[in-house]
């Protein structure tokens, strides 16, 4: 299994998971044209995509899904509430596959399982993707708070993509209106660096090879702050893998899921 984050942040999120000559696009928060550009920049072949998996319907996660599904002729997998929220936007001749909580759906070599999260969307979920070799990737964007269901879903993963949306001090000092600051920091908003670090520490185990910190706010966070907080939380743990901070505008290098690397990395941009 290989993971490539095509981009992640306040303006859009998408990643590719590849295994055995097939791929899943998890979230499609960029225009179709931009998705193709990012795939080309990352050296990924979009013709391998067998399905688009959505965590929720917000534009920065689903913007390009209708067009991509229509052009590629692939199904969209999402929770029932997300599919309902997207009615009229998905292609009529395409297939919409509901992801019901804790019930795996098989697509090509992948098994996709959704778990409910706390976010202010119609029916948001985090995703666990497992390949035929048993490697497991968790994708936890926009999870609001660390619920029991989320903690359960993060057990025994080989790689984890988790939001580290904001630094709490930067958010309080930001120019956002008080209502927006309250929403971001609230139960249905986004994880702070501190909250993400606690979640990563809880999920850490010797076989967790990669942690990707994603969905960083461009106004209320910095990569070095997010990385420092997670590094601190992992001190003394059994984690011996890599930490990658995903960027908004540059895809990460392709990452082998399940292959620990004794390193910490601020970003892993693909060289052009």
pLDDT of residue 262: 43
Q: b/e per residue, 130-162, with b = 16+ CB within 10 A?
A: bbeeebbbbbbbbbbbbbebbeebbeebbbbbb
pLDDT of residue 1: 96
Tell me the pTM: 0.93
Residues of the chain with pLDDT under 50: 261-272
pLDDT of residue 94: 67
Round to whole Å and give the CA distance between 54 and 62.
Answer: 7
pLDDT of residue 144: 87
Mean pLDDT of the chain: 93
pLDDT of residue 90: 86
Question: For 110-129, what is each residue's pLDDT tens digit?
Answer: 999 999 999 989 999 999 99
Decide: helix, strand or coil at residue 239. coil
Q: What structural domains does the chain harbor?
A: 2-256 (3.60.15.10)
Question: For 211-247, what is each residue's pLDDT tens digit?
Answer: 999 999 999 999 999 999 999 999 989 999 999 999 9
């Amino acid at each position: 299994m290989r993971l490539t984050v095509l981009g992640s942040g306040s303006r859009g999120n998408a990643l590719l998971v590849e295994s055995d000559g097939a791929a899943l696009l998890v979230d499609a928060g960029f225009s179709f044209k931009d998705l193709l550009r990012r795939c080309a920049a990352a050296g990924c072949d979009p013709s391998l995509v067998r399905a688009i998996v959505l965590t929720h319907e917000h534009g920065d996660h689903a913007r390009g899904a209708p067009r991509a599904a229509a052009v590629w002729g692939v199904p969209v997998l999402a929770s029932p509430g997300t599919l309902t929220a997207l009615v009229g936007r998905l292609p009529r001749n395409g297939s919409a596959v509901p992801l019901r909580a804790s019930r795996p759906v098989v697509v090509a070599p992948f098994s996709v399982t959704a778990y409910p999260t706390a976010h202010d969307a119609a029916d948001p979920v985090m995703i666990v993707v497992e390949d035929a070799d048993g490697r497991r990737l968790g994708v936890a964007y926009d999870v609001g708070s660390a619920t029991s269901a989320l903690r359960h879903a993060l057990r025994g993963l080989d790689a984890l993509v988790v939001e580290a949306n904001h630094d709490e001090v930067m958010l309080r000092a930001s120019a956002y209106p008080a209502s927006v600051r309250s929403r971001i920091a609230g139960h249905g908003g986004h994880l702070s660096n501190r909250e993400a670090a606690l979640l990563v520490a809880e999920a850490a185990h010797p076989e967790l090879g990669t942690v990707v910190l994603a969905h960083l706010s461009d106004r209320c966070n910095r990569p070095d702050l997010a990385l420092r907080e997670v590094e601190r939380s992992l001190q003394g743990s059994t984690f011996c893998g890599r930490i990658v901070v995903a960027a908004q505008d540059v895809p990460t290098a392709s990452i082998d899921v399940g292959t620990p690397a004794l390193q910490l990395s601020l970003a892993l941009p693909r060289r052009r």
